[in-house]
A and B are shown apart, each in its own frame.
Chain A
Amino acid sequence: MTSLVDYYLLQLKSYLPAKHREDIAAELGETIRAAVEERERALGHELSDAELGAVLKGYGHPLVVAGRYLPMQHLIGPGVFPVYWYALQGVSIVIAVIGGIVAGIALLTAARPAQAALQVVADIFWTLLLASALVTLAFAVIDHARVRFRSLDAFEPRKLHSGILGVRAAPLSPISRHDTIFEVATTVILLLWWIGWLDFRTIVPSGLSVQFTRGIDPFFWPVVGVCLLELVRLGVDLIRPYRTPPRTLCRLCLNGIWLALIVLLFRADGLIEAGAALVDPGQAERAVWSMNLAFRVTLFVLGVVMAALIATDAVRLVRR
Chain B
Amino acid sequence: MPPELIENLRLELRRGSLILAVLTQLHEEHYGYTLRKSLAERGLEIDEGTLYPLLRRLESQGLLTSEWREEDKRQKRFYKLSAEGQRVRDQLLEEWRALSAALDKLV
Assembly CA distance A13 to B75 (angstroms): 18
Assembly CA distance A30 to B48 (angstroms): 12
Q: Does A185 contact B (CB under 8 A)?
A: no
Q: Does B77 contact A (CB under 8 A)?
A: yes
> Are A31 and B52 within 8 A (Cβ)?
yes
Number of A-B contacts (CB under 8 A): 35
Chain B residues closer than 8 Å to A212, beta-carbon distance:
none
Interface of B is mostly: helix
Knowing A20-B56, A24-B56, A69-B56 are in contact, say whether A31-B74 is a contact too (CB < 8 A).
Answer: no
Chain B residues closer than 8 Å to A33, beta-carbon distance:
74
> Are A28 and B52 within 8 A (Cβ)?
yes
Residues 55-97 of chain A: 1 if any B CB is under 8 Å from the residue's CB, otherwise 0?
0000110001100110000000000000000000000000000
Task: Out of A23, A31, A68, name the residue touching B50 (CB < 8 Å).
Answer: A68
Task: Out of B53, B74, B75, name the residue touching A68 (CB < 8 Å).
Answer: B53
Q: Does A27 contact B (CB under 8 A)?
A: yes
> Are A27 and B52 within 8 A (Cβ)?
yes
> Are A30 and B53 within 8 A (Cβ)?
no
User: Distance in Å from the Cβ of B83 to the closest Cβ of chain A?
Assistant: 23
Q: Does B49 contact A (CB under 8 A)?
A: yes
> Are B49 and A59 within 8 A (Cβ)?
yes
> Are B49 and A30 within 8 A (Cβ)?
no
Q: Does B33 contact A (CB under 8 A)?
A: yes
Residues 27-65 of chain A: 1 if any B CB is under 8 Å from the residue's CB, otherwise 0?
110110110000000000000000000000001100011
User: Distance in Å from the Cβ of B12 to the closest Cβ of chain A?
Assistant: 15
Assembly CA distance A68 to B48 (angstroms): 11
User: Distance in Å from the Cβ of B16 to the closest Cβ of chain A?
Assistant: 15
Residues 73-85 of chain B: 1 if any A CB is under 8 Å from the residue's CB, otherwise 0?
0111100000000
Chain B residues closer than 8 Å to A31, beta-carbon distance:
32-33, 48, 52
Q: Does A26 contact B (CB under 8 A)?
A: yes
Tell me the B5-43 residues at the A interface (CB within 8 Å): 32-33
Q: 15 A-B Cβ contacts within 8 A?
A: A20-B56, A24-B52, A26-B75, A26-B77, A27-B52, A28-B48, A30-B74, A30-B77, A31-B48, A34-B74, A60-B49, A68-B49, A68-B50, A68-B52, A68-B53
Interface residues of B (CB under 8 A from A): 32-33, 48-50, 52-53, 56, 68, 74-77
